[in-house]
Structure 1
Amino acid sequence: MSGWEAAKARMYDVFGHVPRPERVAGCPHCVEPGEERCLLAQPVDSVEAESLARYAAKALTTWGGVTEFRYFLPRLLECAAADAFSYPDPEIVFGKLSSAGWRAWSEEERDAVTEFLSEWWHETLGHHPVRPPIDTVLCALAATGMDLTSFLNAWSGLDTDASIRHLHDFVMTGWSGRRLTNAFWNRDNPAYEQAFTWLAGGPAAAAVEAAFARQSREDLLELLAAIHTAITLRSPHSRP
């Protein structure tokens, strides 16, 4: 079993103690009475993404509270990480972890969530192309309230074809030089500053230079050169 599959399995195991709710109350103007029945009629790991999507969008706001959210959490995160919902976007779903106050949960639960997030990142870095794309994954991780240092350090290795291609995608489409372009970024979140500074402040350029020095494949050298040129030309001397 891969680290990613093990992390998903651990989430189901750790949160398996959360009792299945009898019902999931919602705003009467937003949720039909009994609408949750299809979500509770089967084991949580068998709930179809299509059925769960509406709850995922309304969880903690107009449909259910933290207890219900914790019950559905493993399946919610599994579906969001696979980009299995047409709506809501992964950034919205993972942001609900912060709203639920997950950093104050038990150590075992925090560790399970942290492991899931870390393995999702490593799984993303190890494959290209992926769905959701790298800018979505990084923004979703930031939305949880996580410090991005370890994630960005892992990316700085640029030790796989996929990690280089991801950086090329991110620099070309997820960053304008003045801002990160994903609409879900919260510029007041410290993680935004971490990601922006990594790109514009030198670490990403240094990582590209180091990768260029040890790389021999022409296609990857071309990508690294394009990344370095974009970073050099776009990086502002100071943030607005």
Structure 2
Amino acid sequence: MTTPSQHLQTALDALDAAFAPLSETPFTVGGCTSCYTGADLEALAGPVHGVPDELVPSVAAEVADHWDDFAALYRRMTPRIVRLLVTGRLHVDHGLVASRLLAAGWQDWPAPERRALERVWGAWWRSTLHAYPAVDSVTAVLEAVSVSTGSLAPWLAVWAGTRTEAADRHLDDALDEWLVEWGIADLRLGFYDELPAGPELVSWLLSLEAGRIGAAQLFEVERIAYC
């Protein structure tokens, strides 16, 4: 039986394959020479697999106006960025990566690339819900997948349907984070607060089966919902 972590590895390999023609195509990179050396730009112009690991986070986080063609560069680097992100080695805010993917217009990329990325997101989410502790916090992973796709609903549906001890422990941790000073009421996700999340999360939490949320946390959720 294939485990969720094995599904994730398969999805990451499929992402590499989907982007392989783009990754190997000669590419010209122009960028801010105050922030990036000629050697950096040369490395980014070469095969994507040859870009040093330490350079990938800079590309993942950098503002668009530091590049002559931000969208093209981000698209080309996506397999490297995403692999490091989901394996906990990117060390860039998850919401920022999601916001950068939106800015790069990933939902308009060719269908094989879009589908490959969506497959990684699904496998990453399920892998997170089946492991405790996971590589990243459940709230960070949820932010990345929901902001980049523009919707919380499908990810919350998967969580509701995942009846594992790991998924419930993640839920407990998430509530500890969301309920601080009633922060969930006005919660927005994404580096630029692109995705309003609070009301939808509160409604979802109240819809969960009895016993999924502890009494004290449920009391706080209900207070937020009805006050």
The TM tier, using the shorter chain, reads: 0.7 to 0.9
Q: Give 2:206's aligned amino acid.
A: A
How many pairs are equivalent? 218
RMSD: 2.7
Alignment of 1:200 onto 2:202: yes
Q: Shift of the alpha carbon at 1:185?
A: 5.8
Cα 1:144–1:138 change in 2 (3 A) is same
| 1:215 alignment counterpart | none
User: Counting helix residues as a fraction of each chain, which structure ranks higher?
Assistant: 2
Q: Which sections of structure 2, spanning at least 5 residues, go unmatched?
A: none
- The CA deviation string for residues 138-176 of structure 1, in whole angstroms up to 9 with x for no partner, is 111232133221110011124111100000000012343
Percent identity between the two aligned chains:
22
| 1:229 alignment counterpart | 216
For the 8 Å contact 1:83–1:89, the answer to whether it is kept is: no
Q: Give 1:6's aligned amino acid.
A: T
After TM superposition, the structure 1 = structure 2 runs for residues 80-91 of structure 1, keeping only pairs within 5 Å, are 80-86=85-91, 88-91=92-95
| 1:220 alignment counterpart | none
- The CA deviation string for residues 123-150 of structure 1, in whole angstroms up to 9 with x for no partner, is 1111111122011111112321332211
In 1, Cα distance between the equivalents of 2:209 and 2:50?
43
Q: Shift of the alpha carbon at 1:14?
A: 0.8
Cα 1:94–1:178 change in 2 (3 A) is closer
For the 8 Å contact 2:43–2:50, the answer to whether it is kept is: no
Cα 1:22–1:100 change in 2 (3 A) is closer
Runs of 4+ with >6 A deviation: 180-183
What is the TM-score of this pair, normalised by structure 1? 0.78
Q: Shift of the alpha carbon at 1:39?
A: 4.5
Q: Which sections of structure 1, spanning at least 5 residues, go unmatched?
A: 213-223
In 1, Cα distance between the equivalents of 2:221 and 2:9?
38
What is the TM-score of this pair, normalised by structure 2? 0.82
SS for the counterpart of 1:144 is helix
Cα 1:185–1:89 change in 2 (3 A) is closer
For the 8 Å contact 1:152–1:198, the answer to whether it is kept is: no
After TM superposition, the structure 1 = structure 2 runs for residues 175-190 of structure 1, keeping only pairs within 5 Å, are 175-176=179-180, 177-179=182-184, 184=190, 186-189=192-195
Cα 1:229–1:208 change in 2 (3 A) is farther
For the 8 Å contact 2:15–2:117, the answer to whether it is kept is: yes
Alignment of 1:55 onto 2:71: no
Cα 1:183–1:156 change in 2 (3 A) is closer
- The CA deviation string for residues 181-213 of structure 1, in whole angstroms up to 9 with x for no partner, is 687465552xx33xx234322x3234241xx3x
Q: Give 1:149's aligned amino acid.
A: A
For the 8 Å contact 1:156–1:207, the answer to whether it is kept is: yes
Cα 1:83–1:129 change in 2 (3 A) is same
For the 8 Å contact 2:99–2:192, the answer to whether it is kept is: no
- The CA deviation string for residues 193-235 of structure 1, in whole angstroms up to 9 with x for no partner, is 3xx234322x3234241xx3xxxxxxxxxxx453x42132244
Alignment of 1:73 onto 2:78: yes
SS for the counterpart of 1:34 is helix
Query: Which of 5, 9, 29 matches 1:5?
Result: 9
